[in-house]
Structure 1
Amino acid sequence: MIETPPTKKELNLGFLGVGWIGRNRMEAILNNTSATAGAIVEPDAENAEEAKKAAKNAIFKDSSKELISDPNLDGIVIATPSAMHAQQSIEALNSGKAVFCQKPLGRNSEEVRKVVAASKKADKFLAVDLSYRYTKAFKAIFDLIKNGEIGDIYAVDLVFHNAYGPDKEWFYDIKRSGGGCVMDLGIHLVDMALWTLNFPKIKEVRSHLFHKGQKMDSFEEHVEDFASVAMTSEKDQVINLECSWHVSAGKDAVIEAKFYGTRGGASFKNVNGSFYDFTAEKYHGTQTETLVTPPDEWSGRAGVVWVENLLQNNKFDPATAEELIQTAEVIDRIYGR
């Protein structure tokens, strides 16, 4: 008797929020995986109309609770304002669905721990859209360092200046955002450094946070729009971070992650102020070797990887969960909480 090969499972996903980022992630998933969009929640009529072009068969639901409780969905992609992330992720996991959430997963480490606990209890895979991990340029730097090609890393310089800043007012309310440019931009930098260094414990954090050039002592009225942070790992690696909104950067954005090792250096950086185009370079003394240049369609790749993982093993991943907690704890320490 000839056995027929098992059919590949098709994931049916719900999309909670399809503004620009949510729609971009949805389109990347639908165009690059076998997953389908079963249901969508989006309060903005214009965003919903745009989403229908890519997800013609999706059912539009009236509320997040209605979407999350849908028994026909295998996973939920969350791209709502930050204040909603933790609670919506917990509700989705409690309903037996995997979750892919925009960053930050929570506004503080306490919220992140609660989401991780829900993922563990449900035994469902949880991932966060830490998208720069999945650029070809940063992957080249990561592999270079992991292979020992520039020796032991002893210093890291991280920069993310956004000359515009967010255009949604909730970003500037700490109760809804959890923080300013550190929570919005710095979280990517912290993740990139910790991930590359194999998540060492951070023994010291010194931060200077500013609002319109004035050093901040409280977050009751404003969130920070400029941050300068110095961290030291348990291995005495020095990690310097600088990020901002609305800074006079001379270009749209400055995005860099530079690693200095005992046998050389390496950098991930944007090209000509672009938010999307990146290069990877390896340094030895005065010599520069270019490893990766644009183009690279990376912006939705993290969601594609999440779907690929779901198809293989939709289970709680303790290693990923611990990384999410460690990054959130470092962010908390930057804010002095």
Structure 2
Amino acid sequence: MTPRIGFLGTGWIGRHRMAAMLATGAVEAVAICDPSAECVAEAQALAPGAQVVDTLAEMLALDLDGVVIATPSALHAAQSIEAFEAGKAVFCQKPLGRTAAEAQAVVDAARAADRLLGVDLSYRHTEAMRRIAGLVRTGALGRVFAVDLTFHNAYGPDKPWFYDAAQSGGGCVVDLGVHLVDLALWTLGFPPVADVDARLTRAGLPLAAGEVEDYAVAQFAAGDAQVRLACSWRLNAGRDAVIEAAFYGTEGGAALRNVDGSFYDFTAERFDGTAATRLADPPDDWGGRAAAAWAEHLARAPGYDPQAEQFVHSAEVLDRIYGR
């Protein structure tokens, strides 16, 4: 039987992931919940037969197999746990929790319910990153000893809750750095992390109480590799975005880079001395692949996947960057 899914939060990203899931044919949309009538109407255009409900509790009372959560960050952990306690699988926007403790509580709930948990860590699914990860994991680059990660967003979020630490869990690190940390650890096979050091600022100054950072630099050891991370909102970057994930080994290097400031177009190159070989080019319709993969996994095997514990490992690194 095709899994029946409820969609909690149908703003732009929620609808985009909804469309990607439905396009697989692996799941059926049966419920929609969003406080915005406009967002509900646009979601209904994708799934005309879906029932509109006012609350998550109403959604969970329906005959569902899973819930897709695309709500503000402060709600992710509690809503995910509520869904698991009702016996539903969950696909959640990042971050899974504002802290590692919240992320751990969600994973514990998924394990107890024996239900699938997915998080929208979408950059893993770019063709560029897939190619680079393959080189690293097969040893083609030798022993990887350095990783450089960058994500500068020249705009920054447009929702007020992003700037409230209690609601967001932090600033550009929890918004953008979560992708970078995940890419490094996922590519390297989630090795132990040590020696985390970071500097977080707002408008170039140390953070005051209650403020969130708009610029951050951090470094840490991930197994044998030294990782350097930089991320920001509203940096005078000369373009919309600067995104890079570069891996340097004893037998070569490789890097994902965005094209002409794009948030969506990426190349991958392999480096050998001064020579560069192109591995991947746009176009690459990657944005919904994490969602689609979860939908297909749910249809095939709805039970708990132990790889969910990776989400806690990344969250623990973010906690250490924040000094908590």
Assess same fold via TM > 0.5.
yes
Query: Please, which of 212, 222, 225 is the counterpart of residue 214 of structure 2?
Result: 225
Number of aligned residue pairs: give it: 324
Deviation per CA, 1:246-305: give whole Å up to 9, x if none.
000100000100000000000011100000001111010111100100001111110110
Establish whether residue 275 from structure 1 lines up as the match of residue 266 from structure 2.
no
Establish whether residue 39 from structure 1 lines up as the match of residue 31 from structure 2.
yes
Cα distance, 1:50 vs. partner? 1.0
In structure 1, distance between residues paired with 2:4 and 2:210 = 42
Deviation per CA, 1:63-108: give whole Å up to 9, x if none.
11111232x1110000000000000000001111100000000000
* Structure 2: segments with no counterpart, 5+ residues: none
Letter in 1 for 2:126: T
| Stretches (4+) displaced over 6 A | none
In structure 2, distance between residues paired with 1:22 and 1:233 = 32
In structure 1, distance between residues paired with 2:124 and 2:194 = 24
Contact 2:26–2:299 (CA under 8 A) maintained in structure 1: no
Q: Which position in structure 2 is the counterpart of 1:48?
A: 40
Q: Which position in structure 1 is the counterpart of 2:9?
A: 17
Task: Summarize the alignment of residues 17-96 of structure 1 with structure 2, pairs less than 5 Å apart.
Answer: 17-70=9-62, 72-96=63-87
Q: Which position in structure 2 is the counterpart of 1:5?
A: none
Deviation per CA, 1:11-61: give whole Å up to 9, x if none.
110000000000000011111233111000011111111111111110000
Task: Summarize the alignment of residues 1-337 of structure 1 with structure 2, pairs less than 5 Å apart.
Answer: 9-70=1-62, 72-216=63-207, 218=208, 220-235=209-224, 237-318=225-306, 320-337=307-324
Contact 2:27–2:299 (CA under 8 A) maintained in structure 1: no
In structure 2, distance between residues paired with 1:315 and 1:158 = 33
* Structure 1: segments with no counterpart, 5+ residues: 1-8
RMSD: 0.9
Cα distance, 1:229 vs. partner? 0.3
In structure 1, distance between residues paired with 2:210 and 2:191 = 34
Cα distance, 1:336 vs. partner? 0.1
Question: 3-state DSSP class of the match of 1:76?
Answer: strand
With the length of structure 1 as denominator, give the TM-score of the two structures: 0.95
In structure 1, distance between residues paired with 2:216 and 2:5 = 37
Identity across matched positions, percent: 53
Contact 1:33–1:304 (CA under 8 A) maintained in structure 2: no
